[in-house]
Amino acid sequence: MSSDNIAQLLYLGTLVAVLGGGFLLSKRLKLGQTLQMAAVWVLIFIGAVAAVGVWSDIQDDLFAHQTRFDDQGTITIPRSPDGHYNLTLDVNGVPTEFVVDTGATQIVLSQKDADKLGLNPNELTYFGRALTANGEVRTAPVRLDTVAIGPYNDLNLPAVVNAGDLGQSLLGMNYLQRWSRIEISDGKLTLSR
């Protein structure tokens, strides 16, 4: 600590002591009551400082995981805590959660999501094949009447249903290429039309 800092600290300490002493003498309150009131105000001040300090973190947690649309035809998708970009699309009018997968050539539905969309996985013909990181899987081709997100609606899209144990449906390139621009930066995926 420099000598200037020490001098400032002594000055401020003296000022607080004089003002505090003057307040105590003018109010003539009991010392216990006064200390109690001072403690309450100190806690209120600390709480306010803490709230201001963490507000940006709270705001990020509350709003960071929401997909945002703007007037220029852009959708911004924040990265999920698991490192993926997840997007909920209305497929044939049913909200369906997808993970964006630029390595997938098509929209790939899990059996659970296919069933939710009214495509009975047990009645499909799995004659297609796909090579994945987990090996080869069988696929069944299907058509999706509508795939919509916000104001954007695409019709009659091809997709496949995965015969394997796929945890989450994949949003592949046959959908992503419908956007004129795809950009990943600063923890956000931006799609523009």
Q: What is the DSSP string of 5-69?
A: HHHHHHHHHHHHHHHHHHHHHHHT--HHHHHHHHHHHHHHHHHHHHHHHHHHHHHHHHHTTS-EE
Q: How many domains does the chain have?
A: 2
The domain that contains 103 carries what CATH number? 2.40.70.10
Q: Output the CA torsion sign for 157, 163, 164, 168.
A: positive
Do 81 and 138 have their domain in common? Answer: yes
- Our CA angle for 131, 132, 136, nearest 5°, is 50
DSSP string, 87-116: EEEEETTEEEEEEE-TT-SSEEE-HHHHHH
Q: What is the pLDDT of residue 135?
A: 82
Last residue within a domain, chosen from 47, 63, 79: 63
Do 34 and 113 have their domain in common? Answer: no
Do 54 and 98 have their domain in common? Answer: no
Do 35 and 83 have their domain in common? Answer: no
Query: In terms of residues, how long is the chain?
Result: 193
Last residue within a domain, chosen from 63, 81, 97: 63
Question: How does DSSP classify residue 126?
Answer: -
Do 114 and 163 have their domain in common? Answer: yes
Stated pTM of the model: 0.65
Consecutive 10-residue averages of pLDDT for the chain (193 residues): 71 73 65 74 78 68 66 85 91 95 93 94 90 85 94 94 90 94 90 90
Rounded Cα distance between 137 and 111, Å, is 13
The range of the structural domain enclosing residue 13 comes to 3-63
Do 119 and 147 have their domain in common? Answer: yes
Closest CA to 169 of 191, 192, 189, 147: 147
Do 133 and 49 have their domain in common? Answer: no
Residue 19's identity, in one-letter code, is L
Do 27 and 77 have their domain in common? Answer: no
Q: What is the pLDDT of residue 63?
A: 55
Rounded Cα distance between 92 and 88, Å, is 13
Q: What is the pLDDT of residue 37?
A: 76
